[in-house]
Structures are given as structure tokens and as C-alpha cells.
Structure 1
Amino acid sequence: MEVVALVSGGKDSCFAMMRCMDYGHKVVALANLIPLDDTVDELDSYMYQTVGHQIVVSYAKCMGLPLFRRRIRGSTRQAVISAVTGLRYSVTAGDEVEDMFALLSEVKRRIPSISAVSSGAIASDYQRLRVESVCSRLGLVSLAYLWKQDQTLLLEEMIRRGIVAIIVKVAALGLKPSSHLGKELAELKCHLLQMNENYGINVCGEGGEYETLTLDCPLFRNARIILDDSEVILHSADSIASVGILHPRAFHLEQKPDSSDRIGDGSAVQESSSCVYEVDEVTTHDDVGEKQALSPAVDAYTNVDLCISKTGNNLRSMSCWIQDPSRASEGLKADLIAVLSRIENQLKEEGLGWVNVLYVHLYISSMKEFGLANEVYVSFITEKKCYLGVPSRSTIELPLVQAGLGKAYVEVLVSNEVVKRVLHVQSISCWAPSCIGPYSQATLYEDILYMAGQLGLDPPTMKLCLGGPRAELELALQNSEAVANAFSCSIYISAIHFLVYCSAQLTSSEKEEIEQTLKSSYITRLDRSKGGSYPTVLYVFASDLPKGARVEVKPILYVPSTDDWVAAEETETGVPLPAPSKTWTDCTAPYSALRDSCCQVHTTGGRICSAVVSITDDIASKICSAAGQLHHGEENLKIMARFCAFQIAKTLADNRFSWDSVTMLRLYYSVDLAVAADAVSGAFSEALAELAQDNPSMRTDVPFYNVVPVAGAGRSACANDIMACELLASNVSSAKSIPAEPFAVTPA
């Protein structure tokens, strides 16, 4: 991509340009924001470094690139950081961020081929979010290759690769204006590392401890900067941590041997060269606003059989699909508009909106139409509607048409409360794969972290790694761990469930390799000393995955506070289970012997329960009446549905969870059964209705499960089970709530 680099003069923005070139991008222009008054060295700004701005103008000659400059007219304290929206930025007239928008708008107008913006953000969410906001409005990609990198390693690499930068501001314990201003970064490296050890300062100055000015680097192909005269200005004479800056008085450019450009002497007030452009006028570039929601023609969702399924109360899954096998689909776009419109209307009926959605599962009939699906998706789910952050998402291709479900199927996880923490990094970096669109890497709600599906993407290039399914899985786990670390947790300590999507095109040996890789990777890193335990795992085989990936992982993590752990332990041990009913006891005999071979259960302190129930050919032969016709026949379908319902009910009862605590219940069935989704749904509804006869608390007004047709699913990647159930139940919001009565199962 052709890139415009935001430069402040500091080491970070210069090194970020070098990283851009490392990954094959071409820096074609520079952009710099400076104070309105030339005599001012520093602004009280969270966004911009301006110390040394008098020298940055010479970067155009040093690099042989056009430099666009704009004077900062906006306020540095205009935007309000609220407890609701946090650090996120919304367009605010008079804010200093709008100066960046005006500057980059002009750069894009003059150089239309530019498609990305480079910045040197390392740890500041405040800065990153604002750069991403401007890029999103202008249709540009944010590149932040220093984001979340180890600062000690970054500092060492900057020095090793030839960044020559001097300290131009100090504001931290252990750094003195009289001793350290004007010193080269390489000279102070050991001192900075010692100050980090003694006082915990950020060695790259990310906490505002110091600022730098780059005088030379490998990108300065024409000349280096020589500082001839400077003045130390003391802002604060605090005896513990004095604040001082280095004001440049005069400098000149020293031509490099291989440069053919003519370089003259200059001073801090030299005139702009022909390749320096002042962008001082008010921009007339139209902002890219929210896309208008696409409305279904003539209430399309009233003309087809759209099904809604809901689980739980406060936190629940809500799904919508088109269940009309005889209907000829009008195409993915029409079906997805109808489904999203129906969900949107359902949310409105309940006094909710897209801001209440934590997670979205988007199932489509063809990954070739992924771009079209995204176009429809972004017209409904926008940053403006989701002011706390857009929900996390996973998208896979499933045999929907074969199952009679149209071409689009959407499941959303919804909360009545508008309280969540969202991680949405749109910048391409070395940290983890970016989410440039309106979906986030992860969403934390009530101590449960719902992570977007992670592919084996190389973060800085956003390309699938080489090496096949095993390499993809290993990198997907690495990417998942990076996201978990951003929430101060680990998939090897906090994971309660792994949903592993696999391509249906995998060979038998590749399936076995994936399963063994996950087991060995997890067991090797599992930290039992910190409470880690092996999570439940479900393998689902999809017709296709994004980018043609072979594997995708979607972890769910439990990340409680210390107090929550204490409360959980009290809940688990402090209240005895009610005695089971006679009906329950009588019906356990036929299925109890098979429980260990069909169920995985993971519980955490009586607060979270995840479970996977699968019916293999072997189990089906033991419970069905006609073993030779396991994949056919209405009666056998009902028996298998009843078996799954029984195991789910027993799991909930054994672990003290009520039906109202169920937040997700999915029934995956292989399309090899050659039955329509409505037949499977009917069998499962009948089984749950039998349970409801002895459990008044169970809801029977609407289905509270989702039937998902797949190419295969099961507890093992190597076995294509006939059916598999995926359960998640949560008592997090009411940790001490115990079911008032045991669950009962009507005997077969």
C-alpha cells in the first residue's frame, strides 16, 4: 500500500515508517501537526508531540518526500472522556482530532493513491482510537506496527537499526533537564533500563517520561540534521521530577555521501521548501457518515417464515433464520436484510438495540459472497449505534440451503444491560489480526470474555500463514493469547470452552493433526497452579472459512476478579443440592452408562458451566431402535433428540444451574442425515416439551435453542458425529442462586 506517515519528529513515528517498509509498503508522503504559534514549543495535548516542531520541516529534504503540515486550531481538551464511552472518539467540532482529519483529507485529495496511514502508537489507546477514527472516516487503513510491542526490545531495535534521536523533553523521576536533555538515545539506553527497574518508567517514554527528536535514520537518504544551537527551558523545578524541554535555536542539514540532492544550510525559521505544503484552510472534504440501513422491500421478513429463538433472561442468545424449504431464495443480500431486520425489530420490541449485542454469529451460504454480506452487515451494525463498541463476530459458510434455511442465518448474544468492555483494534500491527470492519476482537461482559474467531493470520501482513492446518492452528492460538493478554488473562488459565471451526475439505490425517496439536499445545502451556483446567472443546466442520482458512478457533474465557473467585467458592460448597425427584431417578438408568462417553463438562466455581454432548454412531446404535437406519427415520431422530435433552438437563441439575441460566444452546446436526432443519427442530422441541412437564420453570413459548446444519461436528476432529449439543450457562450475575427444584426428565 502507499502510505502517508504521521510524523512528530520522535523516534516512534520514524521507526514506524521503517516497519512499514519492512512489510512491503511504500511511504510516499509525510504529515505533521504543529502549534498555531511558532514560538510555542509544547501544547498540553494527549494526541500530539510538538517539541522540536521547528526542525521537523526539514524531514522533507532529508527523505525527499512531500511534507504536509497543519497548524493545530482545535482544543486539546474538547472531547469528553466519559464513564460510558471511555476513550472512544466521536466527531467533535473544535477538537484537535479534527485538525488531523483536515490534514489527512488534503493529503488524500492531492495523492489519491494513498490508502494507509502510519503512526507510532505503542501503548496509548487514546491516540490509537483517534487515528483509527479518522482513518475510518476517510476510508484509509491504519498501520501501527509498534502497537503492544515490548518496549525494551523496541528501544534496542531502534538503536541497532540506526535511529539517531536526542532527548528533547524530560518529565520523570531519574531524568534531569540539566543532565539528559540533548543526549542521544543510545547514550541513555542503560540509564533508561535502570530507571525502569528502579521506578517502573516506560523505557520508550510511553507514559510521558521523555520525548525525542530524530536527527538521522536510514530513511534520511539525502541528509542528516545537525543541531547547532539550543536552549534548555525549565517548565517545572520540582525537586523529585523536574520538567524541562530543549528548544532548538539553529540547525543545518549535512548532505549524505550518496545523495545527489542539493542541501543548503538553514535555521529554525527557514522557509518551507517546494515540497512542504501548508494545509491551513478549513477542509471542505465531506465526512464519511454512517451508512443508511438497508430496508427490506415491502417488509420482506413478513413474507417468509422467519424463526426467532431466545434463551435465558438477562443474558441470552437470539437467532433468526428463514425456515421455508419450499421458498426460492432471492439471494444472500435479500435474505440477510430480512434476517437482520427481524432481529432489529425484535430488539426494539424489547426496548433494546444493537448496543446491547455482545456477539454475532454470521452464517452464510457461500463465502464467495462474504463481501456482499459485509456490505449488508455494516448498514445495520455501526459504530454510532454501538457507542460502547461494536460486537465481536465470527463468520463461516454452512450448508444452509441444503437444510432449507435460506442463505443467511444470524445468532446474536444479547444483554439487557448496556455494560460491556470491548476491544476493537482496527490498526494493522504486529500484535494480533486487526478488525478493520465493524466487529471487535473480544467483548467482556460479567466476567466472561467472548472472543471473535481467530484465524492463522500473520498480524502485520494479514495473510494466512504457510505450513498447512497445523501451522494455522498454532498461529490462531497465538493470536488468541495476544487478545486474552489485553484483558490481563490467558487462554491457558481462563478458557472454559473452545469452538474450533475446521474446513470440511480437511483430510483424515489433517483432522488428527489438528486435534493432537490443540491437545499438546494446551497441555504443555496449561497452568494448573493458577486455576487452569482443560476446557470443553467442540469441532465444527464448515463448508468454508474466511480467506480460505483451514481452521479457526473461538475461545470463551472466564476472567473474574479476586472477590468473584471467593464468592464462587462459597456458592459451590455452601449450599447442598436438593434431593432429585423420583421421575428424575427413574429415567437416569438407560442413559447414565453412556454419559462419560458422550459428555464433556467444564464448571467454574458454580458460576459458569460449559458442556458438549455428542452422539456418535456407536452411541446411536445403543439408544436407537433400528440400528441399520441411524441416519433416517423420524422415530430415531426423536430418540437422539431426547437423549441430548436428557444429558443437557442432567448437566444443569448436577452443577446447580437453572434453565434460565442458559445463555447459549446449539444443536448441530450433520446434513448427511438428509433431513430438513425443521424436522430436527421439531424433534428437539418435542423432547424439551417432555422435560417441561416436570419443570414449570422451562420456557415453552418459543424455542430456546438454535439448530445449526453443518458438514460435521463432535468432541473429536476425527469423528463425524450425528448430532452435537453445545451448552453455556452462567450464574455470574447471581452467583448464589440455586435452582428451587431439581430437573426432571420424562422416561423414553
Structure 2
Amino acid sequence: MKVVALISGGKDSCYNMMHCVANGHQIVALANLKPQSKFIKDELDSFLYQTVGHGAIEYIAESMNLPLYRREIMGNSLVQSADYQQTLGDETEDLYKLLKQVKKEHSDIQAVSVGAILSNYQRVRVENVCDRLGLTSLAYLWRRNQKELLKEMINAGINAILIKVAAIGLKTTHLGKSIAQLYPYLCDLNEKYDVHICGEGGEYETFTLDCPLFVKRLSVQEVETVIHSDDAFATVAYLRLKRLIVEEKQASEIVSNPVIVIPSWKKDIEDFTILDKQSKLDNNRTNYVMVSIKIDNLSEEFLSEENLHLFSSYSNPPYYNVSGTTAYDNSQEVQQFESIEEETYACMLNLQEKLHELGLSWSDVVNMNVFIKDMDEFGKMNAIYKKFFNINPPTRACVGSNLPSPTNIQIDLMAIKPISNEESSNPRETMHVQSISYWAPANIGPYSQATIIKCHAFIAGQIGLIPSSLEFPLPQTLEMQTFLSLRNLENVTSVLKLNVKKRTALSICFVDDESSFPFVQNAWKVFCGQSDENSKKFTEPVLYLSVPSLPRRGKVEWQVLIHRDDDGIKNPLVEPKIWQDTSDTIEPMVTKTTAWFMNPILCSVITIQVNNENITLLNLLDGMIYGLDKLFNKFFTFSQIKSSKFWNNIGSIRIFYSKKINTDQSKFEKAIKLKIKKFFSEMKAAITFIPVLAIMDDS
């Protein structure tokens, strides 16, 4: 892509340009925002822009032989929250106007280079502007280890000097020193005072005199030291660069393709190579073929159309669920939709109506599960889906499913709307990174990577894309995609300080082929440190599902719900309660119940395996009731909770069933809903039915 680089003159913006080039992009223009000419001072109180050294920015453009576009900062930091929406008078709008001007002059520009490392404030605002202008944000330094990163910059030939100091241990004598000279000292300050080695806390700012992308170098001839604040512990001072000269480089010094370190995603892949060999040995035990279920001996009561409308939504403030919804939910007769766009729009309107009936809006939704019949329609579906959301959409998992005709899309969701007096103490947190980086994949759809509220941390479905290219590694193997998808999952959760290995309440793994089950099962155990047989009893509920297709035609996708460890922060001895039963044979079936509880989250996986061809739907219904009843009995021994209260607090039941059972979903759904209503009268859960190709639990 052709790129305009946002530059402050500092090391980060220059090094990110190097990574843009290393990843095959072309820098065609530079852009910078500067203080208004009426201001005498060099530094503005800006939350977004580095302005120290702004007077020397033209020299960098000359050193790179690139056009420079500049604009004065007219706005202020009006919106100081983590999120940003277009706001008149905010300094972010100056960036929008600047990049709009650049795009007008260079219509082929597709992306923006930004040197953000740790600042969500900066990243969110650049992404907002890029989204409005149809540009891609390239932030290759995002979430990099700062000690490694600064060393890489030095080794790559970045010659940057400190032009501002504002931290304990940094003095005016350090101004003008290079990052190479100060690297050991900065590492020492990090150890002693937790100073950010790359200056991400505002500890210092730099100006770049030379870089492998420069065809000329800069030399400082005259400076003036300005004391901004003479604090006894941390003096704030900066250099005014009064005179610089541009020096020609020898032809041998000009590097057309700078050599830099590109972080490898292949680290630790050896563990998965070993897993692959073991999984092939385990594959012999795999047999997921199910038989046809006979629907006979059912009274008319079980097959009543009214049963379909049971358990369509759940309301128990602050928790809400809406069951699997389609475009046909509110139709008295089957409609005909001309396209997936029309059907998606109708489906979303039906969901919206259900939300309104519950007193909710889209902003209250925290997670959505989208099932689509034809994954080739993914892009068209997304185009309609995203119109219903503003900033920070809910997390999402999207997989293929052989939905019963005429349905092409089905969506279920969860919403959490804190009671008014809880809102300040339970703010919603969202991670919605849209920049290309080495960290984790940017969103390929209108969803957030994570949503956290009231101890619930919903993580969007993770597939095995290489973050810096948003492509699958070649050749496309299950091994590589499993490794990458779990790496991406860990990178997302670790930034949010979520303990995916010890606080995962539920994990669902989708694969495109049931023969993948043994490998992904072993991979998850190694990932969570559960490969030792002695640790098996601590396994949380895990469900492995084979589906017709995954986004980008991937091979594996992980979706997890994690308990945000508020209780553990207060009391680190708090541990989740986990029940994992051995299989129980109830002819002609085998049932197994696994559950995980840590207030306020209870998750359970109940599996039913059919053993012979004489199974009827009544047998299956009995197996489901047995599993649910066993779940309550296990919970009761721990909590002594009353039956009515227990069932009243179950918000969602999702029933995945193999298409191999070869039964009519409508009759299947009606019968199950009525059976649950009869046996558990206090149950109010939203019940969703999802056809899949094959199912395996964590046996």
C-alpha cells in the first residue's frame, strides 16, 4: 500500500516507517501537525501530538526527499476519555483535516503510518480518523516490549537524540544525548523507578538525526536549553533546535532495503510439532458418527407451534439474553429475500425489536454469535451488520452452519446493562484495535476483540491469521493456524491482564474438519498447562465443534469467556469451583456434565452421545433432563441454593446438535422446549439451537 507517515520527528515515527517499508509498503508523503504560529512556546499541552522540535520537521522531509504536509493545531483536547467520536473543536479534527488534504493530493494513498507503542489515546484517535477517510492504520510498534524495541531501533541505525526530559533520573545534561548512549541508563531507570524505556509515559522525547530511510543526515549546530519546570525530583526541560544542517550521504551509505528485526510469530512452534505427532496417534479413537433419531410416540402437545416461541429471551437485570434469531422470526408466512443483505437486515431488525422489548439498545449488547449458511457471503453480511453499531461494537464469533431452510443467518446475543447505581462501579471496557501490527489481528469485521463488564470478559473468536498481514501462513496447516490462533488469544488477554489459562469459564473450539479434534484438544491442554494427566480434573468446560466453514476459510477458531478476577485481586486464594463428571450410561446414551463456577459466572457443558440405532427423541429428552438435573444437584451440594433461584438465574442454553442425527429441527426444538418447561417451571433461559457437523467434549 502507499502510505502517508505521521511524523513528530521522534524515533518511534521513523522506526515505524522502516517497518512499513519492510512489510512491502511505500512511504509517499509525510504529515505533521504544529503549534499555531501566534504561539511563541515550542510545546503545547496536547494529549495527542509531540510538538517539541516542530521547527526542524522540514529537515526530515528534505532528508527523505518526500513532500511534507503540515497544519496548525487549532483544537484542544476536549474529549479526554478512552473512546473518541467526531467532536467539533477537538484537536483530533485537525488530524482529520490534515489527512483529508493529503488524500486529496495523493488519491492513491491507502494507509497511515503511526508510531504508537502503548498509547490507546493516540491509537484510538488515529483509527477514528482513518476509518472516516477509508484508510488503514499501520502501527507496527504497538504493544512491543520496550526494552527489546529500543535496542532494535539502535541496531537498525536510528540515530535519535533526547530533546525533552520529564522524569525522575533524567536531567538537562541528558539533553542532546543519543538513545544509543543512554540505553543502559534508561534500562537502569526502568528497574529503579519503572520509567518507560521508550518514553511512553512522557518521560522523554526525541528527534531523529539519521535513519536508514534518510538519503541525507542531519547535524545539530546550535541549541538552546529551555527549563519548563525546575522540579526538585524531575526537571522538565527541552532543547530548542536553533540551527541544523543537512549533510549529503555517500552512495554506499544509502540503503534501499534497510535490514530490521521483524518479530517472529513462529517462536515456540516446536511444541505444536510434537503435538501433531501425538494427535495422529490419538486419531484412531475418534468416532463421532451419530444415528438417526426417531420422532415417534410424541403427543400433539410436544409438536405445538406455540412451543417455538418459548424461551426466546431472558431478562434478569443486569443480565439479558436473546435466543437464536432469524429474519423469519416475526413472519406469519415464509418471506422471500432476494439477497443475504436483505435477510441480514431483517434478522438485525428482529433482534433490535427484541432488545427494545427488554428495554435495551445495541450499546448494551456485549457478545453476539453469528451463524451463516454460506461463508462466501461473509463480506456482504458484514456490510449490513456493521450499520447497527457505532464505536466499540460487541465481541463476536462467526462460523458456518447448515441452518434449516430457508434460513441463511441466525444470531443470538447477550447484553449486560448495569442498574443505574452500579454503572460508575462497573464501567464497561472494550478493546477494539483496528491498526495493523505484530501484536494481534486487527478486526476483519465490525466487532471488538474483547468486552469486559461485571467480571465477564468476552473474547471474540480468534482465528490463525498473521497479525502483520492478516493472512494465513503458507502452507495452510492446522498446526500453524492453531498455534497462531492461540497466540493471538494470549496476546489479547494478556494486555487486559486476563488469566486465560486459569480463569477461562468456557472455551468453544470450532474446526472445519472433525479429524482435527484430537490435535486441537491436545493443543488447548498444552496451552493451559493441563497436559499432565494429574491436572485433568481442573479442566474448565471445553466443547469442540466441527462446522462447515470458518471466516477466511480458516481451519480453527477459539471463543472463550473469562472471569475477570476482581475477587482474586481482593483475595488471591479465591479459586473457581469445577465439577467434571465421569460419563454416565443411560441406555441408549452416554451423558457427561462439566461445570465451572466463580461468582457470578456459571458455565456448563452437557454432552449426550448416542450408542445405538434404537434412539428416539423421547430418549434424548430424558438424557437432557438428566444432565440438567445433575448440574443442579452438583451446584446444590456447594451452595445450598434453592431450585427455583438456580433455574431462574440460568440465562442462556445453547444446544449444538449434530446434523448426523438426521431429524427435523422444528420438531426437535418444539419437543425440547416443552420438556424443559414441564420439568423446570422456573426456567426462563433463552434457548438457541445450532446444527453442527460433529461434536466432541473434553473426554
TM-score (norm. length: structure 1): 0.78
Q: Please, which moves more after superposition, 452-461 or 660-669?
A: 660-669
Report the counterpart of residue 350 of structure 1 in structure 2.
358
- AA aligned to 1:410 is I
Q: 2: CA distance between counterparts of 1:192 and 1:691?
A: 66
Report the counterpart of residue 317 of structure 1 in structure 2.
321
What are the within-5 Å matches in structure 2 for residues 71-110 of structure 1? 71-75=72-76, 77-79=77-79, 81=80, 86-110=81-105
Are 1:601 and 1:609, in contact at CA under 8 Å, matched by a contact in 2? no
1:710 pairs with one of 680, 688, 692: 692
- AA aligned to 1:669 is Y
1:98-156 alpha-carbon deviations (Å, 9 max, x no partner) = 11000000111111111111101111111111111111111111111111110000000
Report the counterpart of residue 234 of structure 2 in structure 1.
241
* Cα-Cα RMSD: 3.1
2:205 pairs with one of 194, 200, 211: 211
Report the counterpart of residue 666 of structure 1 in structure 2.
654
Report the counterpart of residue 182 of structure 1 in structure 2.
176
- CA 1:307/1:7 → structure 2, altered by over 3 Å: closer, same or farther? farther
Q: 1: CA distance between counterparts of 2:633 and 2:537?
A: 25
1:199 matches 2:193: yes
Report the counterpart of residue 34 of structure 1 in structure 2.
34
C-alpha displacement of 1:381: 2.1
Are 2:311 and 2:673, in contact at CA under 8 Å, matched by a contact in 1? no
Q: 2: CA distance between counterparts of 1:337 and 1:438?
A: 15
What are the within-5 Å matches in structure 2 for residues 158-173 of structure 1? 158-173=153-168
Are 2:100 and 2:133, in contact at CA under 8 Å, matched by a contact in 1? yes
Q: 1: CA distance between counterparts of 2:128 and 2:185?
A: 37
Structure with more relative contact order (C-alpha pairs < 8 Å, separation 6 or more): 2
Q: 1: CA distance between counterparts of 2:16 and 2:78?
A: 28
SS at match of 1:377: helix
C-alpha displacement of 1:250: 0.8
What are the within-5 Å matches in structure 2 for residues 264-663 of structure 1? 309-311=312-314, 313-314=316-317, 315-319=319-323, 320-321=325-326, 322=328, 327=334, 329-330=336-337, 331-383=339-391, 389-400=392-403, 403-404=404-405, 406-417=407-418, 419-435=427-443, 437-466=445-474, 468-504=477-513, 508=515, 510-523=516-529, 533-562=538-567, 566=571, 598-605=591-598, 607-618=600-611, 627-630=612-615, 633-654=616-637, 656=639, 658-663=646-651
What are the within-5 Å matches in structure 2 for residues 73-152 of structure 1? 73-75=74-76, 77-79=77-79, 81=80, 86-152=81-147
Report the counterpart of residue 682 of structure 1 in structure 2.
670
SS at match of 1:410: strand
C-alpha displacement of 1:252: 0.8
- CA 1:333/1:641 → structure 2, altered by over 3 Å: closer, same or farther? farther
- AA aligned to 2:237 is G
- CA 1:496/1:594 → structure 2, altered by over 3 Å: closer, same or farther? farther
- AA aligned to 1:190 is P
Are 2:593 and 2:631, in contact at CA under 8 Å, matched by a contact in 1? no
Are 1:613 and 1:647, in contact at CA under 8 Å, matched by a contact in 2? no
Q: 2: CA distance between counterparts of 1:570 and 1:197?
A: 32
Are 1:492 and 1:525, in contact at CA under 8 Å, matched by a contact in 2? no
C-alpha displacement of 1:643: 4.1
Q: Please, which moves more after superposition, 204-213 or 237-246?
A: 237-246
C-alpha displacement of 1:326: 8.9
Q: 2: CA distance between counterparts of 1:223 and 1:392?
A: 47
- AA aligned to 1:492 is K
C-alpha displacement of 1:636: 4.1
1:152-204 alpha-carbon deviations (Å, 9 max, x no partner) = 00000000000000000001111111x11111110111111111111110010
Q: 2: CA distance between counterparts of 1:134 and 1:306?
A: 44
Are 1:101 and 1:134, in contact at CA under 8 Å, matched by a contact in 2? yes
Q: 2: CA distance between counterparts of 1:569 and 1:40?
A: 54
Q: 2: CA distance between counterparts of 1:67 and 1:570?
A: 57
Q: 2: CA distance between counterparts of 1:316 and 1:175?
A: 52
SS at match of 1:333: helix
SS at match of 2:651: strand
TM-score (norm. length: structure 2): 0.83
C-alpha displacement of 1:232: 0.6
Report the counterpart of residue 279 of structure 2 in structure 1.
none
| Number of residue equivalences | 623
Are 1:325 and 1:404, in contact at CA under 8 Å, matched by a contact in 2? no
- CA 1:571/1:90 → structure 2, altered by over 3 Å: closer, same or farther? closer
1:257 matches 2:250: yes
Q: 1: CA distance between counterparts of 2:96 and 2:531?
A: 45
C-alpha displacement of 1:364: 1.0
Gapped runs of 5+ residues in structure 1? 262-304, 384-388, 573-587, 619-626, 718-748
% of aligned pairs identical? 34
Q: 2: CA distance between counterparts of 1:406 and 1:397?
A: 12
SS at match of 2:143: coil
- CA 1:597/1:168 → structure 2, altered by over 3 Å: closer, same or farther? farther
Are 1:168 and 1:182, in contact at CA under 8 Å, matched by a contact in 2? yes
Report the counterpart of residue 274 of structure 1 in structure 2.
none
SS at match of 1:493: coil
- CA 1:524/1:712 → structure 2, altered by over 3 Å: closer, same or farther? closer
- CA 1:186/1:565 → structure 2, altered by over 3 Å: closer, same or farther? closer
C-alpha displacement of 1:481: 1.0
Are 1:229 and 1:251, in contact at CA under 8 Å, matched by a contact in 2? yes
C-alpha displacement of 1:405: 5.6
C-alpha displacement of 1:714: 2.6
